Structure 1
Amino acid sequence: MDVFLEHLLHEFELPLSNPVLIFSLVLLIILLSPILLRKLSIPGIIGLIVSGVIIGPFGFNLLEKNSAVDLFSTIGLLYIMFIAGLELDMNEFKANRNKSLLFGLFTFSIPLMVGFPVCYYLLGYDFNASFLTASMFATHTLVTYPIVSKLGISKKQEVAITVGGTILTDTAVLIILAVIIGSHNGGLSQEFWIRLGISLAIFSAIMFFVIPKIAKWFFEKLESEKHSHYIFVLAVVFFAAFLAEVAGVEPIIGAFVAGLALNKLIPHSSALMNRIEFIGNSLFIPFFLISVGMLVDVRVILSGPMAIIIALTLSIVALFGKWLAAYFTQKVFKYSRTQRQIIFGLSSSHAAATLAVILVGYQAKILDENILNGTIILILITCIVASFATEKAAKKSVVETESGMDDFKEANKKDEQILLPIANTANMDKALEFAVLIKDKKSRNPLSILTVVPNNDAAEKNISKAKTKLENYIKTAAASETNAEVVATIDHNASSGIARTARELMADIVLLGWPQRKGFIEKLIGERIESILQLTEKTLFICDFERPLINHKQLFVVVPPLAELENGFRLWVSKVSRFSQELSLPIVYHCNEETQKAIVKCTKQLRINTVNQFCLFEDWEDFFILSKNLQQDDFFIIILARKGAISHLNVMENLPTKSEKYFPTHSKIVIYP
Structure 2
Amino acid sequence: MDVFDFILQIVLVLFVAKIAGQISLRFGQPSVLGKIIAGIILGPAVLGWIEQTELIHVFSEIGVLLLMFLAGLETDLESLGKNAKAATLVAVLGVIIPILMGWAASPLFHIPTSEGVFIGLLLAATSVSISVQTLREIGWLNSREGATLLGAAVLDDVIVVILIAVAIGFFMGAETNIAWVIAQQVIFFIIIYFVGRYIVPKFIHLFEGMLVTESIVTAGLILLFAAAYFADFLGVSGIIGTYFMGVAISRTKYAKEIEHGISPIAYGIFVPFFFINIGLPMSFDGLGSQIGFIMAFSLIAILSKFIGCGLGAKVGGFGWKSSAGIGAGMISRGEVALILASIGLTGGILSHEFYGAMIVVIIVTTLVTPPLLKLIFGKRHDEQVS
Fold match, TM over 0.5?
yes
1:376 to 339, 356, 359: 359
DSSP-derived class of the 1:140 partner: coil
Q: Counterpart in 2 of 1:242? A: 229
AA at the equivalent of 1:285: V
- Tell me the CA shift for residue 169 of structure 1: 0.9
Does residue 220 in structure 1 map to residue 205 in structure 2? yes
Report 1:49-88 matches (<5 A).
Answer: 49-88=36-75
Does residue 287 in structure 1 map to residue 270 in structure 2? no
AA at the equivalent of 1:290: I
Q: Counterpart in 2 of 1:501? A: none
DSSP-derived class of the 1:299 partner: coil
Does residue 353 in structure 1 map to residue 336 in structure 2? yes
Indicate conservation of the 8 Å contact 1:295/1:376, yes or no. Answer: yes
Tell me the percent identity.
24
Q: Counterpart in 2 of 1:208? A: 193
Q: Highest CA radius of gyration, 1 or 2?
A: 1
1:365–1:298 distance in 2 versus 1, CA, 3 Å: same
1:44–1:61 distance in 2 versus 1, CA, 3 Å: same
Whole-angstrom distance in 2 between the partners of 1:338 and 1:200: 33
Whole-angstrom distance in 2 between the partners of 1:201 and 1:101: 16
1:338 to 321, 338, 342: 321
Q: Which deviations, in whole Å up to 9, do the C-alpha atoms of 1:336-358 show, x marking residues without a partner?
A: 34313321231111112111211
TM-score after normalising by structure 1? 0.53
1:98–1:37 distance in 2 versus 1, CA, 3 Å: closer
Does residue 271 in structure 1 map to residue 257 in structure 2? yes
1:110–1:42 distance in 2 versus 1, CA, 3 Å: same
Whole-angstrom distance in 2 between the partners of 1:204 and 1:37: 38
TM-score after normalising by structure 2? 0.89
Unaligned runs of 5+ in 2: none
Q: Which has the higher contact order (CA 8 A, sep 6+)?
A: 2
2:295 to 299, 312, 336: 312
AA at the equivalent of 1:329: G
Does residue 158 in structure 1 map to residue 141 in structure 2? no
Does residue 363 in structure 1 map to residue 346 in structure 2? yes
DSSP-derived class of the 2:358 partner: helix
Whole-angstrom distance in 2 between the partners of 1:395 and 1:240: 34
Indicate conservation of the 8 Å contact 2:224/2:242, yes or no. Answer: yes
RMSD of aligned alpha carbons: 2.6
1:129 to 115, 120, 124: 115
DSSP-derived class of the 2:251 partner: helix
Q: Counterpart in 2 of 1:260? A: 247
Indicate conservation of the 8 Å contact 2:228/2:242, yes or no. Answer: yes
1:138 to 112, 124, 129: 124
Q: Counterpart in 2 of 1:527? A: none
Does residue 105 in structure 1 map to residue 92 in structure 2? yes
Whole-angstrom distance in 1 between the partners of 2:100 and 2:246: 31
AA at the equivalent of 1:293: G
Indicate conservation of the 8 Å contact 2:86/2:148, yes or no. Answer: yes
Indicate conservation of the 8 Å contact 1:108/1:139, yes or no. Answer: yes
Indicate conservation of the 8 Å contact 1:137/1:318, yes or no. Answer: yes
AA at the equivalent of 1:366: I
Q: Counterpart in 2 of 1:608? A: none
Indicate conservation of the 8 Å contact 2:17/2:35, yes or no. Answer: yes
Whole-angstrom distance in 1 between the partners of 2:98 and 2:286: 25
Indicate conservation of the 8 Å contact 1:178/1:248, yes or no. Answer: no
Q: Which deviations, in whole Å up to 9, do the C-alpha atoms of 1:283-337 show, x marking residues without a partner?
A: 2222101001111113343xx32x1122112211110101112431353245334
1:230–1:185 distance in 2 versus 1, CA, 3 Å: farther
Whole-angstrom distance in 2 between the partners of 1:394 and 1:229: 36
- Tell me the CA shift for residue 166 of structure 1: 0.5
Indicate conservation of the 8 Å contact 1:174/1:357, yes or no. Answer: no
1:393–1:194 distance in 2 versus 1, CA, 3 Å: closer
1:99–1:333 distance in 2 versus 1, CA, 3 Å: closer
Indicate conservation of the 8 Å contact 1:266/1:272, yes or no. Answer: no
Indicate conservation of the 8 Å contact 1:55/1:61, yes or no. Answer: yes
AA at the equivalent of 2:108: L
- Tell me the CA shift for residue 198 of structure 1: 4.2
Indicate conservation of the 8 Å contact 1:311/1:378, yes or no. Answer: yes
Q: Counterpart in 2 of 1:95? A: 82
Whole-angstrom distance in 2 between the partners of 1:178 and 1:359: 14
- Tell me the CA shift for residue 91 of structure 1: 0.3
Indicate conservation of the 8 Å contact 1:112/1:137, yes or no. Answer: yes
DSSP-derived class of the 1:144 partner: helix
Indicate conservation of the 8 Å contact 1:112/1:134, yes or no. Answer: yes
Whole-angstrom distance in 1 between the partners of 2:85 and 2:175: 31
Whole-angstrom distance in 1 between the partners of 2:371 and 2:195: 41
Whole-angstrom distance in 1 between the partners of 2:324 and 2:178: 38
Q: Counterpart in 2 of 1:199? A: 184
- Tell me the CA shift for residue 144 of structure 1: 2.4
Q: Counterpart in 1 of 2:101? A: 114
Indicate conservation of the 8 Å contact 1:314/1:374, yes or no. Answer: no
Indicate conservation of the 8 Å contact 2:162/2:178, yes or no. Answer: no
1:324–1:26 distance in 2 versus 1, CA, 3 Å: same
AA at the equivalent of 1:141: S
AA at the equivalent of 1:101: T
Aligned residues: 380
AA at the equivalent of 1:44: S
- Structure with more of its chain in strand, by fraction: 1
Whole-angstrom distance in 2 between the partners of 1:247 and 1:386: 30
Q: Counterpart in 1 of 2:170? A: 183
1:330–1:187 distance in 2 versus 1, CA, 3 Å: closer
DSSP-derived class of the 2:181 partner: helix
Whole-angstrom distance in 2 between the partners of 1:68 and 1:123: 37
Q: Which deviations, in whole Å up to 9, do the C-alpha atoms of 1:369-423 show, x marking residues without a partner?
A: 2322122212332122111011223325x27xx9xxxxxxxxxxxxxxxxxxxxx
